[in-house]
Amino acid sequence: MKVKLKIRRFDPEKDRAPWWAHYEVECEPTDRVLDALNLVKWYQDGSLTYRRSCAHGICGSDAMRINGRNRLACKTLIQELGSPITIEPLLGLPVIKDLVVDMEPFMEHYRSIMPYLVNDDPPPADERLQSIAQRERFDDTTKCILCAACTTACPIFWSRPDYIGPAAIVQAHRFIFDSRDQAAEERLRILDSPSGVWRCRGIYNCTEACPREIQVTQAIAEIKREILRRRR
């Protein structure tokens, strides 16, 4: 089948403003949007710029706005979309070139919640044990691949880039509810701030955007409840 692609392009070295480029490629319905982008880049216009690595929904590097929704190009089938397919960079982050955005503001929020296990007890001989129930408590949020689809789908983040954003909160959740971790208080203090969890208005764009089907809004609500519980 022939598929039309409408791609938002911008090269800061040449363009004064973003513009729309139009391409047509021959695809199978079961091809992914990433395959279509590769066909353009390899055979029509080598200057088209986008990120991708694993091509299997694991690395999180090819999140982009496809037909108005944040998705991974490598997990989105052509047959799920009409024609033309509109492809844009993620919103809310500076565009470096074409579909590549600057992830540094996103990673800065991620780093701010201490995304690593904190436990000052002497390490046991073998491992720090956990029950099945304790592990299940934070299982959902371990699935995050830091693709930024959630944070850049959030209108609060668009208007307030200082908002720590859903992805960083998901990562905080993963450690706050880990029975082996000892820094929950500190992370909750960071999240109980003007740029923290209370910015969330429960719009659910993040949950809808997440390619890992993480219950993002629920994770944010659980952290809000935990802050209130500890305050009491």
Residue 212 touching ligand SF4 (CB under 6 A): yes
Q: How far is CA 184 from the centre of its chain?
A: 23
**Does 161 engage in binding with ligand FES (CB under 6 A)?**
no
Residue 32 DSSP one-character state = B
Nearer to ligand FES, 60 or 89 (CB): 60
Q: What is the DSSP string of 117-175?
A: ----SPPPSS-----HHHHHTTTGGGG-----TTGGG-HHHHH-TTS-HHHHHHHHHHH
Output the smallest distance, CB 59 to ligand SF4, in A.
11
| By CB under 6 A, residue 200 contacts ligand SF4 | no
Q: With contacts defined by CB under 6 A, name the span among 60-68, 153-161, 187-195, 201-209 that binds ligand FES.
A: 60-68
C-alpha to C-alpha distance for 178 and 139, rounded to whole angstroms: 9
User: What letter would DSSP give residue 203?
Assistant: -
**Could you tell me the maximum CA-CA distance found in the chain, to the nearest angstrom?**
62
Give 7 or 148: the residue with its C-beta nearer to ligand SF4: 148
Give the integer Cα–Cα distance in Å for 140 and 89. 27
Q: Cα separation of 186 and 208, whole Å?
A: 29
The interface region with ligand SF4, picked from 84-92, 124-132, 164-172, 177-185 by CB under 6 A, is: 164-172
- Work out whether 61 is an interface residue with ligand FES (CB under 6 A): yes
Residue 27 vs 168, nearer CB to ligand SF4: 168
Interface residues toward ligand SF4, by CB under 6 A: 60, 144-150, 166-167, 170, 209-210, 212, 214, 216
Interface residues toward ligand FES, by CB under 6 A: 52-55, 57-62, 72, 74
